[in-house]
Amino acid sequence: DSGVTQTPKHLITATGQRVTLRCSPRSGDLSVYWYQQSLDQGLQFLIQYYNGEERAKGNILERFSAQQFPDLHSELNLSSLELGDSALYFCASSVGVGQGAGNTIYFGEGSWLTVV
Amino acid sequence: DAKTTQPTSMDCAEGRAANLPCNHSTISGNEYVYWYRQIHSQGPQYIIHGLKNNETNEMASLIITEDRKSSTLILPHATLRDTAVYYCIVRVGGTYKYIFGTGTRLKVLA
């Protein structure tokens, strides 16, 4: 158990709908990262927040948005869903924002999203 | 954006050492190399990281070349449970992006 909690674990929704994925980082971690993993695809970096502020952006679609709240939990909002958005969405957290000896990133178990 | 290159797949006999290479020729001087593995569709699991010196923990050893352009993850006595996709990652220079490459699919054979 990494200490990163993601909900829901599984979600099935229809095209055109909107969903919200939630992440609680490990206690004490200020950074939250979101990754997308489609079937047989690698882990695609979407976005990173540190203490409520966006710090890095990857290949995140305009239909997707994220935020980190004052209590440090984060939400990833996916709207106007398409079949191709079906994927495993991972949240990860770390203490700091940069890379360093103590800034290991720990991953949650993911949220499976199926768009039908 | 991918800054690491790894073999697509490798096989290893159970009980033998598994040596997984990674090329990160564009790594900056103060950037660490991190290794993770993903078993089936579980969340990636942290294995080890290093900067310049070789590192060892209870899971694996990490050998980093002197020029830091490549590294090797060593699983000293591979077991069937080590079958997974192994990723080495570095930070994209000047950003906070941690980009995963395609990884190496390690299959440990009985």
**Model confidence at B3, in pLDDT bands (50, 70, 90)?**
confident
Single-letter amino acid, residue A112: W
Q: What is the CA radius of gyration of chain B?
A: 13
Q: How many CB atoms lie within 10 A of CB B83?
A: 19
Strand locations in chain A (E): 5-7, 10-13, 19-24, 31-37, 43-50, 53-57, 64-68, 74-78, 87-94, 106-107, 111-115
Which pLDDT belongs to residue A17?
Answer: 98
Length of chain A counted residue by residue: 116
Query: Average per-residue pLDDT in chain B?
Result: 90
Most confident of A94-103, A107-116, B99-108: A107-116
**Tell me: the pLDDT tens digits for B17-30?**
999 999 988 887 77
**Tell me: the pLDDT tens digits for A59-101?**
899 999 999 999 999 999 999 999 999 999 999 999 887 666 5
Which pLDDT belongs to residue A59?
Answer: 84
Per CB-CB distance under 8 Å, the chain B contacts of A35 are 100
Which pLDDT belongs to residue B71?
Answer: 95
Per CB-CB distance under 8 Å, the chain B contacts of A92 are 43-44
What dihedral angle (degrees, nearest 10) is formed by the CA atoms of B92, B94, B66, A104? -60
Per cent of chain A over pLDDT 70 is 95
Query: Average per-residue pLDDT in chain A?
Result: 93
Instruction: Reply yes or no on whether the pLDDT at A20 is more than 80.
Output: yes
Which pLDDT belongs to residue B96?
Answer: 65
Instruction: Reply yes or no on whether the pLDDT at A22 is more than 70.
Output: yes
Q: Among A78-87, B23-32, B35-44, B89-98, which is the least confidently predicted range? A: B89-98
Q: Among A38-52, A74-88, A98-112, B33-47, which is the least confidently predicted range? A: A98-112
Q: How many CB atoms lie within 10 A of CB A37?
A: 19
Say yes or no for a CB contact (<8 Å) between A35 and B97: no
Say yes or no for a CB contact (<8 Å) between B46 and A98: no
**Model confidence at A114, in pLDDT bands (50, 70, 90)?**
very high
Interfacial residues of A (vs B; Cβ cutoff 8 Å): 2, 4, 33, 35, 37, 42-45, 48, 50, 55-56, 58, 88, 90, 92, 97-101, 104-110
Instruction: Reply yes or no on whether the pLDDT at A35 is more than 60.
Output: yes
Instruction: Reply yes or no on whether the pLDDT at B1 is more than 60.
Output: no
Between A88 and B51, the higher pLDDT residue: A88
Collect all residues with Cβ–Cβ distance below 8 Å to A9 and sequence separation of at least 6. Answer: A109, A110, A111, A112
Collect all residues with Cβ–Cβ distance below 8 Å to B39 and sequence separation of at least 6. Answer: B45, B81, B83, B84
Instruction: Reply yes or no on whether the pLDDT at A102 is more than 90.
Output: no
